Amino acid sequence: MINEKDSYLSFKLADETFAISVKKVLEVLQMQKITKVPQTQSYVRGVINFRGEILPVIDTRIKFNMPAIQDNARTIIIVLDLNIKSKNVKVGAIADAVKDVIDIKTIDIKDVPEMGSRYNTDFIYGMIRQDEEFIMILDIDKVFSVEEVNLINQNNDAEVIIDLDKEDDF
């Protein structure tokens, strides 16, 4: 169990590198037009069409209390399959750039140090050091609270009416 390896998708937000278990990643998409949804949390950028479903898209920088930036050619949307309180939810998370898929041994993952951090360490599973940089491994199911998922779903169910067959909307 100690030498067990898992694969993680690493990505950049500002100067920081994060990683998510590939088991949670459904797809990595190039940035596309996002339809804005009124009266949502500031970190909810809007929705896109993902395989015929309405997918909420989160601006991960804002969610992590980082400054927002303009999207560019490297900006991507990571489509995640979350399990929050036994409920499966698909969410798109915007990242500055995808880095790589990396294999990490469980034994190499270190606990997050107990020091003032600008991140909510509750959703950081651990950290590794690779090539002179630290990579924060996210427990992506803990990034969003049940209340946030319910808000996102309520907005999708009640306020967004989109013709998914119409390409212009997306």
pLDDT band at 24 (very low <50, low <70, confident <90, very high): very high
Nearest to 56 by CA among 93, 19, 98: 93
The answer on pLDDT for 101 being more than 70 is yes
Do residues 13 and 61 lie in contact, with contact meaning Cβ atoms separated by under 8 Å? yes
Contact between 108 and 2 under an 8 Å Cβ cutoff? The reply is no
Q: Which pLDDT value is given to residue 153?
A: 57
pLDDT on residue 154: 57
Residue-wise pLDDT tens digits, 57-100: 999 999 888 999 999 999 999 999 988 777 788 999 999 999 99
Please state whether 119 falls in left (phi above 0), alpha (psi between -120 and 50) or beta: beta
**Strand runs (DSSP E) across 60-96, as ranges?**
76-84, 87-95
User: Where residue 158 falls among pLDDT bands split at 50, 70, 90?
Assistant: very low
Higher pLDDT, residue 7 or 115: 7
Range of the domain at 86: 5-169
Q: Where does the pLDDT of residue 142 fall: very low under 50, low under 70, confident under 90, or very high at 90 and above?
A: confident
Quote the number of domains for the chain.
Answer: 1
Name which of 24-28, 55-59, 68-72, 161-165 the model is least confident about: 161-165
Between 61 and 149, the more confident residue is: 61
**138 CB burial (10 A radius; 0-12, 13-18, 19+):** buried
Partners of 78 in the β-ladder: 28, 93
Residue 112 tokens, joined: 């997050």
Mean pLDDT of the 108-130 span: 77
Helices (DSSP H) in the chain: which residue ranges?
60-63, 146-158
More confident of the two residues 25 and 41 = 25
Smallest Cα–Cα separation from 134: which of 152, 154, 114, 111? Answer: 111
Measured CA to CA, the distance from residue 107 to residue 34 in angstroms comes to 40
For position 91, which CATH number holds?
Answer: 2.40.50.180
